[in-house]
Structure 1
Amino acid sequence: MKKSHGPSFRRELKPLMVCGTCRGATVVSGVFHQLDCAACNASGWLCAETGLALPVEVLVQQLSLKLRNVTAELSRARQSIGGAHEQYEQNNRRGAGGSNFTGD
């Protein structure tokens, strides 16, 4: 059953893009010193759909969701890569006659 009105039940991840004015550095060079970037409210990120700066409350939520997704992806990648023990057990075909050579 789809909702037809009101706020959504879950926060959706909005596509973000790096600010083109400051190139994600959050500051722009003034004549004598660096100034906060006015285009992105000194965050370095813009909404990819509208190209406008996000309010701070929304930006914090979006960056938190993005960080959570990247952390989960990194942990899945670490689990899929085997350690030294798995590499030691596999045949590397570097021994005499294509047998396993462990270097021991």
Structure 2
Amino acid sequence: MNILTVDTGNKKLDEAYKRMQVHICTYDKVDEFMNYFNSITKDAKEDELLKWLLKVLFWEFKYGRTNQKHDFDILLERVSSDDKAKLEKWLKEKLEKVSDKNV
């Protein structure tokens, strides 16, 4: 599964991306991921890990998704404005239900 863009031009940052991606894809819930991450990083310098995590997040939010559109976004561009409103309402309701279950 490729959830993060791994082509920054920086070998160390690309490696951090790949490692983060493996860890994130392994777990379904954020608490599970956090527990695992905390367990494997006890011996590492926390400030160093935080630095690399922030680099990955910055790159992903700044550059990672700019060229890629989600299938749902493409669909919304191609349907009528009435259908678009219905689809957006449906998606919002579904996401709220899922969010409520994960809390």
TM-score by length of 2: 0.33
Q: Which has the higher strand share?
A: 1
Q: Which has the higher helix share?
A: 2
Question: Whose relative contact order is higher, 1 or 2, with alpha carbons under 8 Å and at least 6 apart?
Answer: 2
Question: Which of the two has higher C-alpha Rg?
Answer: 1
TM-score by length of 1: 0.33
